[in-house]
A and B are shown apart, each in its own frame.
Chain A
């Protein structure tokens, strides 16, 4: 693409056309491709020229949070090198963004690779969680979505505390046509997923899950949404087990839905 433009024209191109690279994350790629497709639909509708690096895998969060630091090093190194040239990196998973912001600095310092650390420092301001990208970079909160359903929003802990997403998610959701938003009680309380915590401490995790489900069911919403499919996998898995009349849906899929083609999967 860039080759078509001379250097002097390039910055003009950048202003005219917003470009971004999508880091879909390992588990979205494998388990939730519909979320990735929704991000593509949504961002292309908003005029973003999207790129996808086919060799991407994982940010290293699972390894780092389970204590496998050496393994997390190699994932972090790989990711920073892969994306050093992107204009913006969009990640539809709040915990993976938090991994990069909270843990990469210390990990890369420990590696002692100074050029890599500099590359990371240059990359970090261009890393966006999806709602950050929409509101902070594109400056839109009305994405032209239509989703005529009762929805409750679950604020994943990493989005709430590490990224401090604040009212970005609710601004985006409140502009969706036809939506009926129902607030979730105890919104700042963890759903109990916690990555390998959900397996290592599965009984405690399930108890936390039960408490969260009770709050969710009380909203009588049709959908529980979030900006992180990991919480939703945990919540949705239990909703399915309990034959509940509630489903989980990533917020990208709500924002991608329009009047003429509602949530085409």
Chain B
């Protein structure tokens, strides 16, 4: 009895019914947004959390007088790395290997999962501890390992909340952003058997620490992601706030790092720019609390077996498209989702992807080769807030529009689109806009046609077809008796 209401409150869903973050299976964005829009608690949590992070970020960006130069530098570093990606990846592989690491290349999610599973089997692992890594969520690693009898235990506080709460991440930096303190208390009390637990932050972190210490001390294999791979030295960098990642990176015998191929930086000194941008943009901190950097294996210190799995999974196809390549500059700071007025209303689950918000709306469909998530490029009002805050200057609105054109080009020749109101309307509008006389005739016809719907107060309160979507929350003023060009022509005559 005590579980039900809390489960419902988290995502507005039936208990046990997890949000779908697989782009191949997720419903289109407008549909997926509906249950979230009804969930006022979740929307309140998301608005509050993004407001707090945004305010902190704005404060720290304002104190940086060279912020715009830093953005230019960061975009330049990332662009250069992507333009020479092959060379830098090979350099990373050579330096990492020389330092005792083993580098694996995975063309897609399936290959990456298989490589990781084989490595874990060699270790006879039955459990693996994990640092927060969205890339592992992208390849749906946890359910795959569980199916093979290996328990994947998250160690990031937010990921623990989600794992124990049978939930999914809704944000790439703060995965449990949609869950509030009271809900965390409920999940911990229920799953850790602590009925007396209070929602005091110290009590909650103490409960998590107690749960985690046992894992850190007993599980000898760990999986991490990577914030950056450094070609020059063959090093891997992970930044975090809690220190649980540091535990995973140092205590186990074997460490497997899964990283997208785009994560590479040419030089060690590039971190100077990137770490400044990342911490300020992501959490509104001058410096993140923990920055872990390691290079291969050091005898007698830290993990003695170190593997890096370099994941493509659609990335080189994005790289091949000149206008959309900038998508891969992303350093996963999530500033775009914190700033996004759409994300603010819907949270992350509506995007049906581990990458939500504006960056998810451009990255997800591209990662699937434009096969799935085709509603995501339309999940934006193109307000440009994302571009404004992006530390590596990804012009997200421009890419959203490009992807919409790609979707339209795919669909426009399908027979069903002949009767699709959107396609029909756009085609007719194009005919009208090309010929002024036809446009003017259509204006006159609309004026007469809409008279039926126009009430005595001169406003339209309901409309059929596509117009019904407009009239859901908005009235429309009835068409005026005279268009502007008619007025202008009359005025000239009188003159």
CB of B479 closer than 8 Å to a CB of A:
yes
Whether A209 and B474, one on each chain, are in contact in the complex, defined by CB atoms closer than 8 angstroms, is yes
Taking CB atoms, residues of chain B closer than 8 Å to A200 are: 30, 378, 422, 469
Chain A interface SS verdict (over half) = helix
Q: Give the residues in chain B near A65, CB-CB below 8 Å.
A: 382, 401, 404
Contacts across chains A and B counted by CB atoms under 8 Å: 198
The answer to whether the Cβ of A255 comes within 8 Å of any Cβ in the partner chain is: no
Determine whether A207 belongs to the interface, using a CB cutoff of 8 Å to chain B: yes
Complex alpha-carbon distance, A60 and B429, angstroms: 10
Tell me the bound Cα distance from A217 to B387 in angstroms. Answer: 29
Instruction: Tell me whether A238 and B426 are in contact (CB under 8 A).
Output: no
Determine whether the beta carbon of A194 is less than 8 Å from that of B469. Answer: no
Question: A17 interface residue, CB < 8 Å from B?
Answer: no
Pair A161/B404 contact, Cβ less than 8 Å: no
B427 cross-chain contacts in A, Cβ below 8 A: 71
Which of B7-15, B78-86, B341-349 forms part of the interface with chain A? Answer: B341-349
Given contacts A26-B439, A201-B33, contact A206 B430 (CB under 8 A): no
B contact patch SS:
helix
Q: Which of B346, B384, B485 contacts A204 (CB 8 A)?
A: B346
**A71, B381: Cβ atoms under 8 Å?**
no
Distance in angstroms between the alpha carbons of A198 and B30 in the assembled complex: 11
A201 is contacted by which of B29, B401, B459 (Cβ under 8 Å)? B29
Write out the residue numbers on chain A whose beta carbons fall within 8 Å of the beta carbon of B405.
67-69
Residues from 66 to 101 in A contacting B, C-beta threshold 8 Å: 66-69, 71, 74-75, 78
Q: Is B470 an interface residue (CB 8 A)?
A: yes
Q: Is the CB of B489 within 8 A of A199?
A: no
Min CB–CB distance A239 → chain B (angstroms): 9
Contacts of A190 in B (CB 8 A): 341, 381, 383, 385
- Taking the nearest CB of chain B, how far is it from the CB of A155, in angstroms? 11
Q: With an 8 A cutoff between CB atoms, is B415 at the interface? A: no
Q: Are A29 and B383 closer than 8 Å at their CB atoms?
A: no
Chain A residues with CB below 8 A from B480, complex form: 31-34
List the B side residues contacting A233 at CB < 8 Å: 476-477
**Which residues of A come within 8 Å of B, CB atoms?**
24, 26, 28-34, 36-37, 40, 52, 54-58, 60, 62-69, 71, 74-75, 78, 102-103, 106, 157-158, 161-162, 188-190, 192-211, 233-234, 236-238, 240-241
Additional A-B contacts beyond A67-B377, A202-B469 (17; CB < 8 A): A29-B443, A52-B488, A62-B426, A67-B406, A67-B408, A68-B430, A106-B398, A157-B383, A189-B341, A190-B381, A192-B341, A195-B382, A201-B33, A202-B473, A206-B472, A233-B476, A237-B477
